[in-house]
């Protein structure tokens, strides 16, 4: 394998950078700072980042282009799912429409990670908001699919701690999902309507760095990788996959990205980053062979100094991703 190169992109250092989305049409990487409710666009050709604050919004958890509507994006904001207008240049983005609101049932929650499948359907999950009770321990979040025809969020999975990374295999069509404080990655089949089938496989990344592949019935441990010297918890955060179906997982508080082969359930590569809080990953670039990683600078136990909160460009991986999808609205 060629030498892997890690570089910092020009742009602001964010408290909670998240949700990278590569837009092939504009050759741009869109991403958010959740806590400041800002959108960001890194222009590949200009090697420059533009930023905008969403007027009237408290959070911005993800940003995904709306298919066929130039300059419009779906954004998860608190309990609301918004259509936001931004030209990618100015410092202000405006709310065009509220698609739906999760309402009082999830009043103390917020959207976290969200992504669109190959049929243009949005999947997005929730977690307790930062100003709520211990949002690291409670498991009353959910994973939803947005039903664009009815304008409603359809719950797919309950009792979620922190709904996080999600991706679909380009090879098998299977759906992979992370609940960060379940310490695992689950694999599902998906039916024609976008509902989750049976849980097929889970990879557990426990504090001692144990990775397992389990059968549906008895959670049988087939593979175990353990590092007795590990002193920190491995918290899986955002996730993407390459054209061969391998998973790339951001490890929050772990200073790395891990590459997992789902067929063998093995970690086949670790990519070190010079920051602790790696939040999410996405393939992009003109040839989809660049891995972008967002990071955070949250002061959880010790101060996080720059380049914490930067976005990183990783090259030399000798693999490619697949195009990211846009939301299909009626």
Per-residue pLDDT reduced to its tens digit, 211-246: 433 333 322 222 222 343 444 457 899 999 999 999
Q: Which two tokens stand for residue 272?
A: 């070190």
Q: Is residue 244 part of a domain?
A: yes
Q: Is 110 annotated as a binding residue?
A: yes
* Structural domain containing residue 298: 5-315
Q: Is residue 123 part of a domain?
A: yes
Which whole number is the average pLDDT over 180-203? Answer: 80
Q: Is residue 211 part of a domain?
A: yes
The predicted pLDDT at position 105 comes to 81
Q: Is 112 annotated as a binding residue?
A: yes
Q: Is residue 329 part of a domain?
A: no
300 vs 52: which has the higher pLDDT: 52
In the chain, the percentage of residues whose pLDDT exceeds 70 is 86
Find, among 245, 234, 258, 112, the residue nearest to 171 by Cα.
Answer: 245
Q: Is the pLDDT of residue 104 over 60?
A: yes
Question: Based on the structure, what is the number of domains in the chain?
Answer: 1
Q: Is residue 35 part of a domain?
A: yes
Q: How confident is the model at residue 199 (pLDDT cuts 50, 70, 90)?
A: low
The CATH number given to whatever domain includes residue 270 is 2.120.10.30
30 CB-side CA count, 13 A: 29
Q: Is residue 59 part of a domain?
A: yes
- Residue 237: active-site member: yes
Q: Is residue 66 part of a domain?
A: yes
In the chain, the percentage of residues whose pLDDT exceeds 90 is 72
Flag the least confident range among 56-65, 91-100, 213-222. Answer: 213-222
Which whole number is the average pLDDT over 30-45? Answer: 98
Which whole number is the average pLDDT over 30-40? Answer: 98
- The β-bridge partners of 297 are none
CA distances from 302 to 66, 109, 186, 235, 277 (A): 39, 26, 31, 17, 12
292 vs 159: which has the higher pLDDT: 292
Q: Is the pLDDT of residue 83 over 50?
A: yes
Q: Is residue 51 part of a domain?
A: yes
The single residue of 113, 117, 179, 237 carrying the catalytic annotation is 237
């Amino acid at each position: 394998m060629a030498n892997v190169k890690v570089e910092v992109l020009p742009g602001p250092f964010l408290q909670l950078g998240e949700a990278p989305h590569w837009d092939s049409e504009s050759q741009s990487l869109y991403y958010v700072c959740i806590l400041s409710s800002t959108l960001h666009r890194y222009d590949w050709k200009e090697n420059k980042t533009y930023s905008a604050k969403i007027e009237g919004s408290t959070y911005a958890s993800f940003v995904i282009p709306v298919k066929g509507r130039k300059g419009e994006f779906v954004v998860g904001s608190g309990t609301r799912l918004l259509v936001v207008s931004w030209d990618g240049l100015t410092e202000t983005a405006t709310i065009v429409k509220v698609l739906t609101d999760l309402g009082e049932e999830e009043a103390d929650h917020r959207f976290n990670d969200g992504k669109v499948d190959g049929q243009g359907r949005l999947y997005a999950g929730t977690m307790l908001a930062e100003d709520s009770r211990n949002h690291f321990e409670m498991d009353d979040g959910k994973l939803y699919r947005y039903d664009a025809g009815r304008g409603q969020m359809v719950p797919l999975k309950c009792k979620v701690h922190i709904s996080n990374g999600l991706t679909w295999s380009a090879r098998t069509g299977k759906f992979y999902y992370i609940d960060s404080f379940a310490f695992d990655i689950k694999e599902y089949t998906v039916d024609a309507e976008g509902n989750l089938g049976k849980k097929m496989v889970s990879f557990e990344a426990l504090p001692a760095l144990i990775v397992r592949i389990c059968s549906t019935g008895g959670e049988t441990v087939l593979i175990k990788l353990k590092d007795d010297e590990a002193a920190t918890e491995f918290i899986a955060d955002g996730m993407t996959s390459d054209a061969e179906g391998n998973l790339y997982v951001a490890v929050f508080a772990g200073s790395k990205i891990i590459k997992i082969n789902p067929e063998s359930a093995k970690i086949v590569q670790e990519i070190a980053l010079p920051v602790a809080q790696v939040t999410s990953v996405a393939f992009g670039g003109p040839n989809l062979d660049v891995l972008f990683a967002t990071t955070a600078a949250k002061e959880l136990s010790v101060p996080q100094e720059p380049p914490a909160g930067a976005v990183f460009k990783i090259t030399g991986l000798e693999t490619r991703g697949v195009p990211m999808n846009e939301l299909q609205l009626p």
